[in-house]
Structure 1
Amino acid sequence: MNQLNYRWYRCLAPLAAFIATVAFTSSAFAHAMPQKEVPAPTTTVAAPQQVSITFDDPLEPAFSTLTLTNAKGQRVTKNKSQVAADNHKLMTLVLPALSPGRYTAHWAAVALDGHRTHGEYSFRVK
């Protein structure tokens, strides 16, 4: 390698490494994760009218879902969850009147860039 090419390599190699690091880091953090759940996990509450989850990244409404099951694992509503039109980080599920007991919210979130995450959490109704 001649002296001129070596100098260019020494200048461009760190730049290429930086660009690769930024690209990897941004893709690693592109997964939408819950920031706030209402009702909150592991709490005991009066029967809520809805379950809502606020995520840290905007969601793709067509592919993101929120469902609720009772202690027997049965789905408690036929309603579909909604991603708010004015806030794509907020997903809600309107609920029927809930009986006392343990409920589990199951969510699947697809970020606008296509990355999918999912999870669940439980709460109790008095």
Structure 2
Amino acid sequence: MKNALINRPRLAAANLSLLVAGLALSTAVFAHVFPQKQEPGAGATVASPAQVRIVFDGPLEPAFSSLTVTDASGKQVNTEKSAVDAQQRAAIAVPLPTLAAGHYTVHWAAVASDGHRTHGDYSFDVK
């Protein structure tokens, strides 16, 4: 019986440690931002869009978040820099010139306001 009483505080401490570690890990996972809406959308076939815009699931750090658009040969087609929307800090857009028919790839890098970075790309076609 005495051993069982000694082990209870150790068991409680171990459980508390696991709980704290689990909470810390889940907070780290949710600190990253990911796209929620893309215009034009991934895989879409559209007329030449005036811009590419992505809305993320959390606010972005403007100085470190970016969008670029390349054509099928890998040449960047946007001549202006992308910008995070001042009114909706979860959105970033880049203006585009008139695009010829073809395949285009959007490359994005998003830094959450807490400094965590995610990145990716997707493609769309212009008819």
Give the aligned partner of residue 49 of structure 1. 50
SS at match of 2:17: helix
- Cα deviation, 1:73-112, whole Å, max 9, x if unaligned, reads 1111221101111211111011111111111110011111
Which runs of 5 or more residues in structure 1 are unaligned?
A: none
Structure 1, residues 29-48: CA drift from partner, whole Å, max 9, x if none?
32211111110111100111
Give me the whole-angstrom Cα distance separating, in 2, the residues matched to 1:17 and 1:73.
47
Deviates more, 1:105-114 or 1:5-14: 5-14
Distance in 2, Cα, partners of 1:61 & 1:54: 13
Instruction: Establish whether residue 94 from structure 1 lines up as the match of residue 62 from structure 2.
Output: no
Alignment of 1:1-126 (within 5 A): 6-126=7-127
TM-score by length of 1: 0.89
Q: Aligned partners of 1:67 and 1:24: how far apart in 2?
A: 32
Letter in 2 for 1:95: L
Which amino acid in structure 2 is aligned with residue 98 of structure 1? L
- Return the alpha-carbon distance in structure 2 between the equivalents of residues 123 and 114 of structure 1: 29
SS in structure 2 opposite 1:63? coil
Distance 1:84 1:101 in 2: 28
The Cα of 1:4 is off from its aligned counterpart by 7.7
Output the amino acid matched with 1:78. Answer: T
Distance in 1 between residues matched to 2:112 and 2:5, nearest whole Å: 45
What is the identity, as a one-letter code, of the residue corresponding to 1:111? A
Shift of 1:5: 6.7
Structure 1 CA distance for aligned equivalents of residues 52 and 44 of structure 2: 13
Alpha-carbon shift at residue 124 of structure 1 (Å): 0.6
In the alignment, the residues of structure 2 paired with residue 108 and residue 22 of structure 1 have an alpha-carbon distance, to the nearest angstrom, of: 26
- Note the alpha carbon deviations across 1:42-74, whole angstroms, 9 max, x for none: 110011111011111211110000001111111
> Quick one: distance in 2 between partners of 1:41 and 1:3?
59
Cα RMSD between the aligned structures? 1.7
- Structure 2 residue runs of 5 or longer lacking an equivalent are none
